[in-house]
Chain A
Amino acid sequence: MFERKPLLGFAGDTLASALLANGLTLAGRSFKYHRPRGFLAAGVEEPNALFTLGEGGRTTPNVAATTTELYEGLVARRQNAWPSVDFDLGAAISLLAPLLPAGFYYKTFMGPRRGSWMWYEPFIRRAAGLGRARHERDPDRYETRHAYTDVLVIGGGPAGLAAARAAAAAGAAVALVEQDSALGGMLLAAPATGALEDWRTELERAVRAMPNVEVLLRTTACGVYDGNTVALLERHDHERPDAGLGKAREVAVTMHARAIIYATGAAERPLVFGDNDRPGIMLASAAQAYLNRYAVDPGRRALVATNNDGAWRSAIDLAVAGIAVPILDQRQHVEPALQDAARRVGIDVRTGALVTRAQGRRAVTGALVAHNGSARVEHLACDLLCMSGGWSPTVHLTSHTGRKPVYRDDIGAFVPGGYAPGQFGAGAVSGEFALSAALRSAAEAGRAAAHYCGHADPIGPTPPPQVADHPFTLEPPRACPRGAGGKAFVDFQNDVTTRDLALAHEEGYAAIEHLKRYTTLGMGTDQGKTSNLNAIHLMAALRGVGIAEAGTTTFRPPYTPVSIGALAGRSIGHHFRPIRRSPLHDCHIANGAAMIDAGPWLRPWYYRWAGGDAAAAYVNEMRLVRSAVGLADISSLGKIDVQWPDAAEFLNRVYVNGFASLPAGKARYGVMLNDDASVLDDGTTARFGEYRYFMTTTTAQAAEVMSWLEFLLQTAWIDLDVQVVSVTDEWAGMSIAGPRARAALALALPEIDAADAALPHMGAREFEVDGVPIRVLRLSFSGELAYELYVPAGYAIALWERLLERAAALGIRPYGLEALASLRIEKGHVAGLELDHRNTLDDLGLGKMAARDKAYVGRELRARAQLQAPGRWSLVGLECLEPSARLRGGAILFARGEALAGHGRGYVTSVTWSTELGKYIALGLYQGGLRHAGEEIVCAYPLKNEQVRARIVSPMFIDPNGERLHV
C-alpha cells in the first residue's frame, strides 16, 4: 500500500523502482525550501526520497525508498509535506527563500528576544522536520547476537565476491555481507543479459558453493571498532517477521573478525548547477540501475551530463534501450574509443559542454548548456537528466577507527588513508575503478587477509570477464558559472546551496568541520554521501587552496541509520536489566510481600499482614520487632569467604578497626575506607576457625568490595596468603529480631544453643540442623536482641518456614525492607544513603572506631586538614518539632532565621516515623554536626514548598547504652 492506494511491483523491486514504474516521480518536499524532489539515486546515498514506513508502533520515519525492498503488505507514505506532498502549504516558503540562508534558524529565532526560538520552534519543526517518530510501543522483535569469523568481506560487488573467493580458497572462514538483497554491486546495474551478467552469475555461484563462506544479504556493516569488531545490521522486513513467533525484524550482530576486507565500492556524485534538484534529475548510475536492474524507463528523452568516463556506460545502456541520449561531457578531450562506442549506438556526443541550469519545476523539462569557448547557451529539452560528477570511494568504514581519508588528484576523490592492522581494501574503495584492476586488488586483498589469519593455501586470481574495460579518467568538476540563475544544491537533504557555502566562507566558517555545523551540510540520514566531496571542492575553490588543505569531514558510525530497536535488542521491558532474586523470593510472594527494586535485587518492601500500603505496613512491622519478634530477609548482603594464615593480617589492613585479635566464635563490626579516606563500606566479619572468616558487606557495595579486596591481594599485597571467594549466592541470610528473638529461636531450632552464655552479643557459631549447616551471628541492625542466620541457599525457604511455623505462638511475622531501614534509623546506624563515597569516618561520627596503633587503608589521607575541618557536614539526628508536619529525605537544612537560599548547611539523608518516639525522625548531614546538638533548624523542601522545624539531636534515638542488645 502506498498512501492508501495499492501499489504493484515485482519481487526484487525497491519502493523507489516500483514508484517510478508506476509513474510517480515526485518523492517528497525538501527539508528547508519545500522544493519538489524526485529520486536522485538508486542506493543508500539517496538524500531526497525519504519515506515513512509502517503504521502505529511500527512506524519508521526517514527511510530511503531506494533501499526499501518491496514486499507484500509494505505500507509507505511520503513525508515532510504539510498537509500533503502534492498540495504543499509549506511550499509558500520557497517564495521567501532569500530570507532563509544558512544559519537562518539560529540567527533569526535565537534573538534578539530570548525565548523567541521557543515560540517559533514548533512551527519550524513542523514545516521543516523530516518524518516523525511515534510514541506507541514497537510490536516488532529485535535481537542482538555475537558472531566470529576469520575474514569479514564488506560488500558483495565484483571486488567483494573476488576477495571472498580468494580468502576462502586460501582456507579462511569468510563472512560476506551485502546490504542489498542481491550480490553483484554495480554489476546489478549492467544489462540483464550478456557477458557481464553471465560472468557475475558464475562468480556468485562459485562463491556460494564454497563451504567456508557465509553470505549475509540485507546486512549492513554500520560501524567498525577496535579489534576488528564490526557492527552489522541484519534486516528481515522482506520476510514479514511475526514477533509472536519469535521472528526478528532486525538483528544487530557484533561481528568479531580477525581480518576485514573493505569492498564497499564507490558512489557517484551529482554535478552542481542551477536547479539541479528538479525531479527527473538523477545520478547516471541510478538511471542505469532503474533501466537494467528494475526494467523501469526512467525517462524517454535523456541528457547525460558528466565530467568523467563512468557515465558513458550509462549513456550507452540508455541508448541501447531506445532512449534518446545526447551526452554532454565538460571535458574537451575524451578517449576516442569511448566516443566511438557511444556513436555506434547512436549517441549525440558533445564534448566541452557544461550544463548551467535545469528547467522545469515539478519535473525537469530541459537544460541550458554552455559550450566551451563560446558564449552561446543552448537549450536542450529532456524529461531525464543524468549527471555524474565523478565517483567517491565509500571510505566511511575505513575511517571509523580514526584513519583520515586522503585525496587523490587522478581520480578526483578521497581514498582510505591506510588501513588498520588486519584490514584490507579491494576494488573501487581503494580507487580502482576499472573492473580488471578492481579484481586484481580484490584477489590480493583476499590472499593477504587469509594470510593474516594464518591461512596460506595458493589461489589464482579471479579471471576477469571478457568485456571492454576502460581505464577511468576524470576532470575535476567545474564551478557552475555565476549568473546562471536558480539554486545550485550541494547537499540535497539539508538544502545547502552554493550560496550558503559562499556565505559560510564569508563569515569565516571555512574549515570543513565548521562548514558542516554552520550549514548542516553532511548531516541527516544520508550523512552527506552525495555532498561531501562537492562541498570540499567548492570550499577549496573559494579559499583558493588545494583539496588536501581544505580537508575532509570525519566519518563516524553508523554508516546508515540504525533503529533504536535493533540496538536495544531484547533488553526491553523486564529484560531491560537482569534481576536478582533472593533464595526466599518465592516464599515472599506466597507470604503476600509487596516487592521493590533495590539495585539489581527484588526485595520484600512490606508484607500485607501489616497493612495495605507501605506507609501503614512498615510502622506495624516496626512495632512487631520492638515489642515481639520479626523475621527479615537479608540474603542480598554481600558475603565473602576469607581464608588462610594471613587472613587476620589482611582484615586488619582493610578495616579501620582492629581485627587481628578477633577470636574464633566472635563477629565484629568494621568499616573500610577507600584510599582517599572516604568510607567505602561497613559490615561485619565473623571468625569461624583459626583461618576461616565470613565477611558481610552492604548489599549495594558487595561487588565493589569484592573487586577491591581482589585488587589489593593481586596487585599490592601479593605476599599475603589469603583466599577470598564470593559466597553471596551460596548463603541465604535472615535476621530474627525483637525481645522474643531468643525464645523464637529456641522454639524453632532447639538444636541451637542461643543462651547468652553460649552465644553472647557479637557471638558467632556454626551449627548443624538435620545435616544442614547454619551459621548464627548474634548482632543487631535494629537495636533489638537479634540473630543473623545463614543457611545454604537451597534450604532457605525450609528454614524460613520452620521459624515462622514453630515460633508462631510468639507472634513472629516477616518484616520488609522499609521497616528494616526505619529500625536502623531509630538506632542511628548509617547505611547506603549516608555511605555515599564522599563522607569520611569522622563525618559519620565513627572516628573513634579507627585504631591508633596500626595501619589501615586510607589512614594517611584521612589526616588531611580539609577532612578534619570542624565545619564539615557530618552526621546528626533530627527530631521533627511540628506534630502536623513530616520530614522528607533530601530536604535542605538551614539555621533558624537564616534566608532559605542556596545549598544550605546540609541535607536529610534518611527519614522515618518513629514508633517509639511518636514523631518523625531523620538522619542528616549538617555543617558542624553534633556541635549544634539541641539547636532548632529548618528543613526546607522546595519541591513541595515546605519548611519544617526540627531539632538536632544524637542520631542514636533509642537505647543509647545498648541495654536491649545484652539481655
Chain B
Amino acid sequence: MFERRSPLAPQLAGGGRDGADGRRSMRIGEARGWHLIQIGAHRRSGAALAAAVGRLCGCALPSSPRIVTACGAHRLYRIAADQYWIVTHDAAVTAALARAITPDVGASTALTHARVRLVIEGAAATALLARIVPIDLRSAALPVGSFAQTGVQHACVLLERSDAQRYELYVLRTYAVSTWEWILDSAMPYGYDVHVAQTEQ
C-alpha cells in the first residue's frame, strides 16, 4: 500500500503557543478525510450535469456563487458560472461522479491532492483572517455558510465560513507549508493550539 502524506505532517507536530495575554484564543489545524472533485458543464450540458449530481449527491447544483450547499456528507460550491466543487467524505461518490460525468454530461477533475484544508476556529479567528486575506469578513458580507475565493500571499484559496468563529481554507498543496507558517506568524499575538482532525466535524 502506498501511504498518503499531508504536506503539513511535520508542521502539525508543533503544538501551539501562548498569545500576548498568555491565552490561546484559536485552534488552527488541518481537516483530513475528504475528497474533492471539480466538475463543469459546457454550453449544452448544464441540465445533464445537474441531473447526474442530483442522482449521485441527492441535491441540486448550487445557483449562488457565495453560499455553500451542504447536503449530507457533501458540500457543493459554485466556483465559476459553470464550474463546481464537490467536497465529500465519501470516496465512492467522487468515483461515481467521475464515471457518470461523460463528455456529453460535462467534465470532472480530481483535486483531492491539490488542496489542503485548514481550519481556523476561535475568538480571534476573524481578526487573524483580516491579516491574511483582503476580503470583507463582516457577517453581512461573509455570513455563516458562505464562501469566497481569494488569495493568501498571492496564492489562491477558497475560504468558507462554517460558523461565526470558524473558517475553513482550501489552500494549494504546494503552498500549504508557506501559508501555514504565514498564518501561524499572524496568529502569534492571539495564541493558538495546533490541531488535526482525521475526519471533518
Contact = CB atoms under 8 A, between A and B. Distances in A.
Chain A–chain B contact at Cβ < 8 A? yes
Interface of A: 143-148, 173, 242, 245-248, 254, 256, 570, 574-575, 577-583, 585-586, 601, 635, 641, 643-645, 690-691, 721, 723, 725, 727-731, 769-772, 792-799, 802
Contact of A792 (B6, B44, B112): B112
Given A248-B189, A578-B154, A721 B42 contact: yes
A247 B20 contact: yes
B174 A728 contact: yes
A145 B178 CA distance: 18
Nearest to B110: A730
Chain B interface residue number, banded: 35 or more
Given A254-B134, A580-B178, A691-B103, A148 B2 contact: no
Contacts of B2: 769-770, 772, 795, 798-799, 802
Nearest to A792: B113
Contacts of A731: 113
Given A246-B188, A723-B40, A795-B2, A582 B138 contact: no
Nearest to B174: A580
A797 B6 CA distance: 10
B175 interface: yes
Contact of B5 (A242, A641, A798): A798
B141 A146 contact: no
B174 A146 contact: no
B69 interface: no
A173 B113 CA distance: 41
Contacts, number: 147
Given A145-B130, A645-B103, A723 B42 contact: yes
Interface stretch (B55-63, B70-78, B179-187): B179-187
Report, nearest first, the 7 A-B pairs whose CB atoms are least far apart: A246-B188, A246-B189, A729-B114, A730-B114, A798-B2, A245-B20, A793-B113
A858 to B, nearest CB: 27
A797 B5 CA distance: 8
Contact of B138 (A143, A148, A248, A728): A148
Given A577-B153, A581-B177, A585-B177, 19 more contacts: A148-B137, A242-B20, A247-B20, A574-B181, A575-B182, A578-B153, A580-B174, A581-B7, A643-B103, A723-B40, A723-B42, A727-B111, A728-B114, A729-B173, A793-B7, A795-B4, A795-B5, A797-B5, A802-B2
Given A583-B174, A723-B107, A245 B189 contact: yes
10 contacts: A242-B20, A577-B154, A580-B175, A583-B7, A643-B107, A725-B38, A727-B114, A728-B174, A729-B172, A730-B173
Contacts of A796: 5
A585 B7 contact: yes
B133 interface: yes
A772 B38 CA distance: 19
Nearest to A721: B42
Nearest to B116: A729
A570 B173 contact: no
Interface string B132-144: 0111111001000
Contacts of A641: 109
The residue among B114, B131, B175 with the most chain A CB atoms within 10 A of its own CB is B114
A644 B130 contact: no
Given A570-B186, A795-B2, A729 B115 contact: yes
Given A145-B130, A578-B182, A795-B2, A729 B174 contact: yes
A148 B141 contact: yes
A143 B40 contact: no
Given A575-B181, A772-B2, A798-B5, A730 B136 contact: no
B99 interface: no
Interface in B127-165: 130-131, 133-138, 141, 153-155
Given A644-B107, A795-B2, A582 B174 contact: yes
Contacts of A793: 7, 113-114, 173
A693 to B, nearest CB: 11
Contacts of B153: 575, 577-578
Contact of B20 (A246, A644, A795): A246
Contacts of A256: 136
Contacts of B19: 245-246
B10 interface: yes
Interface string B101-127: 001000101111111000000000000
The residue among B4, B6, B138 with the most chain A CB atoms within 10 A of its own CB is B4
B173 A578 contact: no
A547 to B, nearest CB: 42
Contacts of A574: 181
B47 interface: no
B182 A570 contact: yes
Nearest to B104: A645
B96 interface: no
Contacts of A691: 103
Contacts of A730: 109-114, 173
A641 B176 CA distance: 22
A570 B185 contact: yes
A500 B37 CA distance: 72
A645 B42 CA distance: 10
Contacts of A146: 130-131, 133-135
Interface in B9-63: 9-10, 19-20, 38, 40, 42-44
A18 B78 CA distance: 61
Given A146-B135, A798-B5, A578 B42 contact: no
Contacts of A798: 2-5
Contacts of A575: 153, 181-182, 185
Contacts of A727: 109, 111, 114
A718 B114 CA distance: 27
Nearest to B1: A770
A583 B173 contact: yes
A641 B201 CA distance: 31
Given A575-B182, A730-B113, A792-B112, A247 B136 contact: no
The residue among B5, B137, B190 with the most chain A CB atoms within 10 A of its own CB is B5
A147 B130 contact: yes
Nearest to B22: A245
Nearest to A148: B136
A342 B7 CA distance: 77
A579 B182 contact: no
A578 B114 contact: no
Given A254-B134, A570-B185, A729-B172, A794 B103 contact: no
Nearest to A243: B188
Contact of A578 (B40, B115, B131, B175): B175
A246 B178 CA distance: 19
A250 to B, nearest CB: 14
A158 to B, nearest CB: 29
A586 B103 contact: no
Contacts of A173: 138
A641 B155 CA distance: 19
Nearest to A143: B131
A536 to B, nearest CB: 39
Nearest to B185: A570
A578 B103 contact: no
A147 B43 CA distance: 39
Nearest to B156: A726
Contacts of A601: 174
B164 to A, nearest CB: 17
B138 to A, nearest CB: 6
B10 A586 contact: yes
A248 B186 CA distance: 10
A771 to B, nearest CB: 8
Contacts of A585: 7, 177
Contacts of A246: 19-20, 188-190
A728 B114 CA distance: 8
B31 to A, nearest CB: 14
Contacts of B7: 581, 583, 585-586, 793
Nearest to B103: A691
A92 to B, nearest CB: 51
